[in-house]
Structure 1
Amino acid sequence: MKSTKTVILAAGHGTRMVSEKPKVLHEVGGKAMLDYVISASEAAGADDIAVIVGYKADTVKAALPENLTAIEQKEQLGTGHAVLQALPFFENFNGNVLVLVGDAPLVRKETLEELVKAHEDGGFSATVLTAVFDDPTGYGRIVKKGDELIKIVEHKDATDEERSIKEINSGMYCFDAQALKAALQAINSDNVQGEYYLTDTIEILRGMGKKVGSYPTPDVDDIAAVNSKVQLAEIGKIMRRRINSSLMEAGAIIIDPENTYLSVETKVGKDTVVYPGVITEGRVVIGENCIIGHNSRIVNSTIADGVDIQISTILDSFVDENTHVGPYAYLRPNSHIGKNVKVGDFVEVKNSVMKDGAKASHLTYIGDAEVGKNVNLGCGTVFVNYDGTNKYRTVVEDNCFIGCNSNLVSPVTVKEGSYVAAGSTITNDVPKDTLAVARARQVNKEGYALQMKKIKKISK
């Protein structure tokens, strides 16, 4: 195969999206639409990629990988005009140029590979990626004479007869670089919209005696593009089906794929059960034989084998083997949870380590802390890590027992094997194998309650 470059069209505002955000940066499956197109192009073997930016150009540029070329289209005068801005990118190149659109995130590397193969095998100067739609409204029509591609007509400019054609233009092409250069220099804006259409290059190339062709994708989902938030949701549903099907084929058990929202960068080990309503975002790795209970949310985190998570939120953290999380637990960023740990209901952990065998069964806050092996944190334990200006760290060493409703005021260390009595507020280090009691001594005033009752009766 010849060397291939890619030009991705990503300059449009997308007014039907009714959004200030550039259309191509709207997300599907936890990833910007443009990112999918870039990834598919790279996977299909593109040697170099340029992205045409326009609306909020700086925002789109900032979202691009550093190895890509960004080319600004200052005026949006049509697709032909957009590709013309990229002429310096390929004008001295002798190979293929893929022209793709940044709002078609379902395009796959296999489809692009087949497009390039059809282009080279057919000896074409241009090859159009096409599909057959039951309802082609809004799409450019593929006009053929027999199997020969004659021209592409935009829906707005098509006759009634041409609008009856079901085969449509995806807006994606493979060109011979030098043929594309010649055709772009000959396009004009003689149409209803007064724009420079890339589709016109097909007729121009035919007029030059060049051979042009088409490759109809067998999966029409490949070319589905987004022009509104309704379409964004529809494509999100297709992407969700693809992601979940791939994970199930790899061994995961997804109870209700239609209502499970896993990011494209999620990996799930075999025999892990994922219940409805689970959401993952970013890069998430879940091991084997886990249970991810309904309505749990996991973001940029790693979950090892055998973990049970119930109705909990985990952000930018690590959970080791055979640990139980939840229900209603909250692991905030930079939490590292060891093996056989229990993080129970309404427990919050932030920027902390809980080592193997540690337990916080309920109603506990662990912030900026290191909790040792086999430590038991009683109900209502609070790591008081913030003095209003600075945050400090607390260490509870191995095999300690912290009684209910205790406050550990940072910075403080509870040494190995120690006990903290329930209701204590610990402000000083606790030595090894010590019982720390930091609460007022109980005083019982017998008969006092009867006196109070009499006072209340008189006051009435």
Structure 2
Amino acid sequence: MPSPPAPTVIVLAAGRGTRMRSATPKVLHDLCGRPLIGWVLEAARTAGAHRTVVVDQPARVLEGHLPAGVESVEQHAGRHGDGTAGAVIAAAELIDPERPVVVLTGDAPLVTGEVVTALLATHAAEGNAATVLSAELDDPGQLGRVVRDADGAVVKIVETKVAGDATEEELLLREVNAGVYCFAGDRLLAALPRVGGDNAQGEKYLPDVLGILRADGDRVGAHRAPAPEIVLGANDRAELAVVRELMQARIHQRHLRAGVTIVNPASTVIDDGVAIAPDVTVEPGCVLRGTTTIGERAVVGPHTTLIDATVGEEATVLHSHVVGATAQAGATIGPFTYLRPGTLLREGAKAGAFVEIKNSDIGTGTKVPHLSYIGDADVGPGTNLGAATITANYDGYRKHRTTIGANVHTSVDTTLVAPVTVGDDAYTGAGSVITKDVPAGALGIARERQKNLEGYAEQAAARARERG
């Protein structure tokens, strides 16, 4: 039997989202590294969508935020009508009557591509004109109930928000409408013009299509989702927090089952785009975001933030903040270290306690043990930068680079005023301000001669008595 044609997917995203109380459109709020609508579009992609259409507001608030290949249309109340059916009407010209049409909502990110695929399979197997995604809840609350006949076909969806809308028997039903639908393209196009707005809100509702199809003698079915969480959307920030907890748990489970140790998932935040190899240990209190990648047997945390960072195998990052930087295999970072964009710690290098490094290449095995700022520098292998080594790289107008060779040893409290070069095997004296190049193998010392003022304490006390 041939496979059913790939679907047209319509994503409803024209709602104002006023309950978010935010200048950011509701469907663009972040959820574990993706905007809400990004999860919905990913579900459409993994379900093999032939065409994906997003219904936007007339102001086109989603312009520039949609992936390549995703089309958008605008829902205009006067032309298409308000409500969910009005949104689908706005996309009607892009519906292929020969393909199934799946309707998703941009603020319901827990619907996966696997769920959409199963919905399509039920739709095709039962020969339905429309198939509703449903879920069974222990406490259905005010969600619309799915009423079936003896053959399992959907008779109607009963709303329950207003007393008297549903009978006592219908209120006992636990199967609810998840707000996701699959339609035969031609039957949907035939029914949409007949959807009216005769209700308190004056809106055109997509569930009304189901009644029209049944009146035409078409079959309407339902596919029950495997988990009740499918029905959850994010209409306000409180609901978004609930959805985030569920989505974060999914991400944690994916990594745990792939061989990652997450010591305390409840205190760990991991974005969807983070890649973690097997045998990595993520200690409590970590935040892993963006395109971060972590190699095998690395240890991250506790209390570490990685954003768009690359951590090599067997590296360790303790109590530190790493943004847009790379630590190669065996590197060690922290505690209380800040690696900024453009930083490269080569294999076995160390950025120790209270160190900040920015836009610098730190050589293989090189150590920046503590209390240092290294910016815009190239440091060779095997070098040791003493405590409080500073690169003074900015003259108020331009950034300048510092070049430090291999096997260099800077003593404590060395300031290197860029542009300056310290040659291989060179040393600097403690407390030096290096403004000229230090040749290879040389010792650079740049400080005032010490003067001791005899009797200074007694003189200071006498002056204090005179003032007092």
Check whether the contact 1:22–1:56 (CA below 8 A) recurs between aligned residues: no
- Residue equivalent to 2:106: 102
- Residue equivalent to 2:255: 247
Opposite residue 117 of structure 2, the aligned amino acid is E
Check whether the contact 2:76–2:90 (CA below 8 A) recurs between aligned residues: no
C-alpha separation between the residues in 2 aligned to 1:217 and 1:345?
A: 50
1:413 aligns with 2:421: yes
TM-score by length of 2: 0.94
Q: State the shift of 1:93 in Å.
A: 4.0
Cα 1:48/1:353, change in 2 over 3 Å: same
Opposite residue 159 of structure 1, the aligned amino acid is A
Match of 1:122 among 126, 131, 139: 126
Q: State the shift of 1:74 in Å.
A: 3.2
- Residue equivalent to 1:159: 166
Residues 370-429 of structure 1, C-alpha deviations (whole Å, 9 max, x = no match): 121111111111111111222111111111111211111112111211111111111222
Match of 1:427 among 431, 435, 439: 435
1:23 aligns with 2:30: no
- Residue equivalent to 2:82: 77
C-alpha separation between the residues in 1 aligned to 2:206 and 2:73?
A: 17
In terms of mean alpha carbon deviation, does 121-130 or 427-436 score higher? 427-436
Check whether the contact 2:393–2:418 (CA below 8 A) recurs between aligned residues: yes
Q: State the shift of 1:28 in Å.
A: 1.6
C-alpha separation between the residues in 2 aligned to 1:82 and 1:400?
A: 67
Q: Identity of counterpart residues, as a percentage?
A: 37
TM-score by length of 1: 0.95
Two-structure CA RMSD over aligned residues (Å)? 1.7
Instruction: Give SS of 2:241's match.
Output: helix
Q: State the shift of 1:218 in Å.
A: 1.5
Check whether the contact 1:301–1:315 (CA below 8 A) recurs between aligned residues: yes
- Residue equivalent to 2:147: 143
Instruction: Give SS of 1:8's match.
Output: strand
Check whether the contact 1:188–1:196 (CA below 8 A) recurs between aligned residues: yes
Cα 1:353/1:57, change in 2 over 3 Å: same
Check whether the contact 1:152–1:200 (CA below 8 A) recurs between aligned residues: no
Q: State the shift of 1:328 in Å.
A: 0.8
Unaligned runs of 5+ in 2: none
Match of 1:285 among 281, 290, 293: 293
Instruction: Give SS of 2:179's match.
Output: strand
Q: State the shift of 1:152 in Å.
A: 2.0
Opposite residue 84 of structure 1, the aligned amino acid is I
- Residue equivalent to 1:38: 41
C-alpha separation between the residues in 1 aligned to 2:59 and 2:232?
A: 24
C-alpha separation between the residues in 2 aligned to 1:283 and 1:187?
A: 45
Check whether the contact 1:187–1:196 (CA below 8 A) recurs between aligned residues: yes
Unaligned runs of 5+ in 1: none
- Residue equivalent to 1:384: 392
What is the 5 A alignment of 1:124-273? Answer: 124-146=128-150, 147-156=152-161, 158-161=165-168, 162-273=170-281
Q: State the shift of 1:154 in Å.
A: 3.5
Instruction: Give SS of 2:407's match.
Output: coil
- Residue equivalent to 1:111: 115
Check whether the contact 1:153–1:199 (CA below 8 A) recurs between aligned residues: no
Cα 1:434/1:74, change in 2 over 3 Å: farther
Residues 243-267 of structure 1, C-alpha deviations (whole Å, 9 max, x = no match): 1111011111111112211111112
1:350 aligns with 2:358: yes
C-alpha separation between the residues in 2 aligned to 1:341 and 1:56?
A: 51
Residues 338-357 of structure 1, C-alpha deviations (whole Å, 9 max, x = no match): 11111111111111111111
Instruction: Give SS of 1:238's match.
Output: helix
Match of 1:438 among 438, 446, 468: 446
Q: State the shift of 1:43 in Å.
A: 0.8
Q: State the shift of 1:225 in Å.
A: 1.1
- Residue equivalent to 2:93: 88
C-alpha separation between the residues in 2 aligned to 1:325 and 1:55?
A: 49
C-alpha separation between the residues in 2 aligned to 1:177 and 1:155?
A: 29
Q: State the shift of 1:447 in Å.
A: 4.2
